[in-house]
Amino acid sequence: MAKLKELLQQLTLNEKEARVFLALVKLGSAAASAIAHEANLTRTHVYDLVVDLIERGLVSVVESRGVKRYEATDHAGLIAYVSREQERLNKLGKNLEQWGSEFNALRLGRASKTRVRFFDGPDGIHAIYAEIKRDMAKVTAPAELLTIFSPAAVERALPGWFESGEYIEVPPAIVKRGIVCQSELLQKYLANIKTSPAQHFYKLWPGNLGEFPVDTICWPHKITYIDLAGHPSGIIIENEALVKTFTMWFNQLWASLP
């Protein structure tokens, strides 16, 4: 029951809506009073909740002799609801893309020069990598992507990272320079570089100096720091001065390595 409740909440139902839905699954056709008893809610609250569930197509209502009884949709109905939600989100995504220029114009009009966003867990890190790829795909002028990292640390935090291609592949027009920590996965990383259409250059950080616990990536207007030690998390900072300062540090470190 707890797992079902968790899945329902992932379908955008709040905690009390999930309780009502599961109560109906258990009871079958039921009046509001029975639902309230099973879900441990007031009958008045149940009426409000079922109205929303009916609008979503998750609950139906039948009235007989002045008494309203409610029924939860079956498994096929839940799958259909998921499909409708996916279609709705796809339409929303397309609309957001169409209004992207106006959205960005509003952002540029803000007084603040710095924007910091936080990302948590493996999904958050994948979102950071996906944003880098999207940004790189939009670049028309010559640009660089700079990174300091350990391939082994990334693979430990995100198993299957090498096969995903999300980190290694960037458009051919982008120059990618990396300071790469020596590790047992170094040769595998370098083999991926050789098969990539992008312009890759790298220098080695000696393994005896320690492994980087953070994946640092800098690209036009943004920089990210990804903590790979323990539970992965990261931040993206948008600040021109910080990007320029990091680039200066990176170039000095690059020049010092053989």
Q: Which range among 2-16, 123-137, 232-246 shows the weakest confidence by mean pLDDT?
A: 2-16
Does this model's pTM top 0.95? My answer is no
Round to whole Å and give the CA distance between 225 and 139.
21
Round to whole Å and give the CA distance between 210 and 245.
24
Does the pLDDT value for residue 108 go beyond 60?
Answer: no
Does the pLDDT value for residue 58 go beyond 80?
Answer: yes
Angle at 131 between CA 206 and CA 149, to 5 degrees: 5
Round to whole Å and give the CA distance between 186 and 151.
7
Greater confidence, 98 or 36? 36
Question: Is 29 in contact with 71 (CB distance < 8 Å)?
Answer: yes
The separation between the first and the last C-alpha atoms of the chain, rounded to the nearest angstrom, is: 60
Question: Is 119 in contact with 235 (CB distance < 8 Å)?
Answer: yes
Round to whole Å and give the CA distance between 33 and 216.
57
Q: What's the average model confidence in pLDDT over 80-106?
A: 74
Report the candidate in 168, 162, 244, 256 with the shortest Cα–Cα distance to residue 209. Answer: 256
pLDDT at 253: 95
What rounded mean pLDDT belongs to the chain?
82
Task: Enumerate domains of the chain plus CATH numbers.
Answer: 2-78 (1.10.10.10), 115-256 (3.30.870.10)
